Structure 1
Amino acid sequence: MVPLYVFLLIFFELLIVAWIDFKTAKISNYWFLINVLAFVLLSIFLPKVYIWGIQNFFLPIAFIFVGFMLFQLNIMGAGDSKYLFSLFLMVPYELQDQAFYTLIYSTILVGGMSFFINIYQNKKKLAFAFERKNVGIIKGVFGKKFTYAPVILMSWVWFGFVARVWE
């Protein structure tokens, strides 16, 4: 179980990171360093919850590799994947799957809503592009990235309800 004070610490950190990401579209490496340091401290003070076993690092390392591929495809920023790596270090191993699923569901929800809002707001432009078979216009409509830290924040709140961190 995630200790409530760790959950709240991450929640308030995510509020700040989401706000900064929303305003600047960048996540500083300082947040990555803060989270890694927090993991080291948590593993010292709560060694039964935050372990140094290799299994604890599988999902965080996967975020680095998948995030790099998504960065190369211009889908996700580099700061997002580094931040997710460090954030998932602070999620106890037993709950990483649950936190990951809420992140995936939140991404699908926000991404899907963004997709359909884009279609609705650009329906005339898209109709014109399909008439003319102009792929460039279609790429222009759907080629926009959205800031990801607010999605991470949403998934963290959802995770809090699913994991019942306040009990």
Structure 2
Amino acid sequence: MTSVRRRLTRPVFLGPSAALMLMAAAGCSADDASAPVTDPTPSSEAAAYCRALHKELPSSVAGQERSGSGTGSNLTAGWGDGEIVLRCGVPRPAKMDDAQSKAIDANGVNWMLEQQQDGRPRFTTTYRKAYVEVTLSVAYAHDASPLAAFAPAVKKTIPNRL
């Protein structure tokens, strides 16, 4: 077992202090919801998992109604006015090779955290046959609960890699 696997399979649960630190690290810009969404280009196997996931996604996440991603694709979805954006079939992030990567568990699904330059947190599922990426606006940077809303659909439609 590599050190990356050990690090990523050991989930971190965000408590109040960690959540506040994440929020502080994310900054306070509220103008980040307008970033363009691009469709991933997954393999045919991953695309099939993503189509199944798309059908199971919740209509509401963290008080935001599903609004689409603007691409019309079944590889992407959005909630609110871009506050929460999901992309399925993204490439495996290079950051997963970093033994210092941080991951959290949300209702049985492991997600790796990457802090983007604009302050928004981006989470990517680990050890799944298709990678699912969720980008949150800074309004939700202190709260991992949006990830929990995706767990039932991810577990149902995208098998573990192991």
Bin for the TM-score computed over the shorter chain? under 0.3
TM-score, normalization: structure 2? 0.28
Greater relative contact order (CA < 8 Å, ≥ 6 in sequence)? 1
**Structure with the largest fraction of helix:** 1
- TM-score of the aligned structures, taking structure 1 as reference length: 0.27
